Amino acid sequence: MLALGASLGLAACSDEGGDAPAPQPEPTGQASQVPQVDLTFGAWGAPEEISAYQQAVRQFNQVSDASRVELRSWPTREAFVAALRRGTDVPDVYLASRRDLTWLREQGWTRPVDELLDERDVSFGDVYSRDAQEAFSADLKLQCMPYGVSPMVIYYNEDLVDLDTMAERGISVPPESHSRFTFDQFRAAAEFAAKPRRGTRGVYIDPTLRGLSPFVYAGGGEVFDDEDQPTSLDFSSDDTREALETTLEVLRDPRLTLSQDQLDQASGLEWFKRGKVGMIAGFRDLVPELREVDGLDFDVLPMPTLDTTATIGDLTGLCLDPDTESLVESADFLVHMISSPEVAVVTRAGHLVPANQEVALSEDFLQTDEQPASAGVFTYTNRFMVLPPLLDTYSELQAAVDPTIGELVSAPGVLPLDELTTQIDEESREVLEQPVEDDSEEE
């Protein structure tokens, strides 16, 4: 525009005739600079994660002449979502959980990114799995760029679940690769770790919708009655009840799991950190916290296999606000953040299982000189991840059914499985959208 304006100015002087115009001073470098666009990047996570995001943002600002990005951070996903609900401005580019994707789209806070990436010659299909892309796709468009794909796995205390000693005693254990963990091996490991005289228990699994879902899927059941537009949970179906019945034989055994009195004192995670529980289930974000515990030797295994191998995941993506100050510059920043060098920066903080397979298979993620030794389990088991339907009421659904799901584990005496699973499904229907009935009658 400056060059065009100068040409127009000279043409105007020439048309006037008369003396030649006096020489004008050379424009300074300051005047010739195009004003930078101010953008925001929203992220949430532990302090070390936020520090890594800040490093990636700083690197972008050092090389970008057209925009400057400011990091805005929150400690948790819940805090970020709460801020948006209170009216906080949506960041130009932001980290989002797949659980919130439907709600974000309904608010008009996302826009597809696939064409923007294609325009920048980003061959994301070569580095990001089809499953990861489909997880953030809707209406045949990639709504956000996959960033983190963390499957639920089993964390185990190597002193309490001593696989070498178990094998020497003829107890079946997982292969050295940790590629498979049968339910019978899971039960045996829990029994081996539970030592009443030492006050240790074998296993603790959160008795929640998320906590039990991997066992339901692995046992051939279904969590929802429809994988796209569910109207109910499917806990009362025969297959799901059968999967739960098998699972609860372990989770309800008072010799193997924590009592309610113990849980009133501390969480299952806290008991695991104290060396009093052999196994818990969790995602990759537990790794840095567990590494800080003195004397705790731990590793990871896949979720137990019943009829098949299955798990659930904690998925995140990078999204663009349609009302961004500059779509071009926001897209450029997105490309910067998903590049392997910048993903590696965040991955090294220890919380992230990157959707970027190039980084996931590198030392930046595997960190072979640190715990867990079998970090490859996180990337290997991604292929067995079952994705729930995209709902805008997932948090409300959990709140509605988790108390009754908890009774599946804690109810005293003979378990009324049929009654409780029927109640769980009924409670879910109070939250999930129901089909509209057509009351019109044909004449």
- What is the rounded end-to-end Cα distance, in angstroms, of the chain? 70
238 half-sphere exposure, CB direction, 13 A CA radius: 0
User: Residue 80 is encoded by which pair of tokens?
Assistant: 């970020």
Q: Kind of pairing, strands 67-74 and 137-138? A: unpaired
Query: Sign of the CA dihedral 185, 186, 187, 190?
Result: positive
Give the C-alpha separation, 443 to 441, whole Å.
6
Do 174 and 236 touch, CB atoms closer than 8 A? no
pLDDT at residue 124 in the model: 76
* Cα gap 67→39, rounded to integer Å: 7
* Distance in angstroms (rounded) separating the CA atoms of residues 78 and 83: 9
| pLDDT computed for residue 34 by the predictor | 65
Please give the domain boundaries of the chain with CATH numbers for all domains.
36-149+314-378 (3.40.190.10), 153-313+388-429 (3.40.190.10)
Q: Are 357 and 152 in contact (CB under 8 A)?
A: no
Q: How far is 410 from 259, CA to CA, in rounded Å? A: 9
pTM, rounded to two decimals? 0.89
b/e 198-215 (16+ beta carbons within 10 angstroms → b):
eebbbbbbbbebbbbbbb
Q: Which residue has the tokens 């990871």?
A: 300
Question: How far is it, in rounded angstroms, from Cα 188 to Cα 175?
Answer: 15
CA 220: distance to chain centroid? 24
pLDDT at position 434: 82
Predicted local distance difference test score (pLDDT) of residue 443:
44
| CA dist., res. 161 & res. 152, Å (int) | 19
Burial 233-270 (b: 16+ CB within 10 A, else e): bbbbbeebbbbbebbbebbbbeebbbeeebbeeeebbe
Q: In what order do the strands lie in the sheet with 93-97?
A: 67-74, 37-44, 93-97, 313-320, 145-151
Helix (H, G, I), strand (E, B) or coil at 4: helix
pLDDT per position as a tens digit, 236-266: 999 999 999 999 999 999 999 999 999 999 9
**In sequence order, what are the beta bridge partners of 319?**
94
Digits of tens for pLDDT over the chain (443 positions)? 333 333 333 333 333 333 444 444 444 444 446 689 999 999 999 999 999 999 999 999 999 999 999 999 999 999 999 999 999 999 999 999 999 999 999 999 999 999 999 999 998 777 988 889 999 999 999 999 999 999 999 999 999 999 999 999 999 999 999 999 999 999 999 999 999 999 999 999 999 999 999 999 999 999 999 999 999 999 999 999 999 999 999 999 999 999 999 999 999 999 999 999 999 999 999 999 999 999 999 999 999 999 999 999 999 999 999 999 999 999 999 999 999 999 999 999 999 999 999 999 999 999 999 999 999 999 999 999 999 999 999 999 999 999 999 999 999 999 999 999 999 999 999 999 887 665 554 44
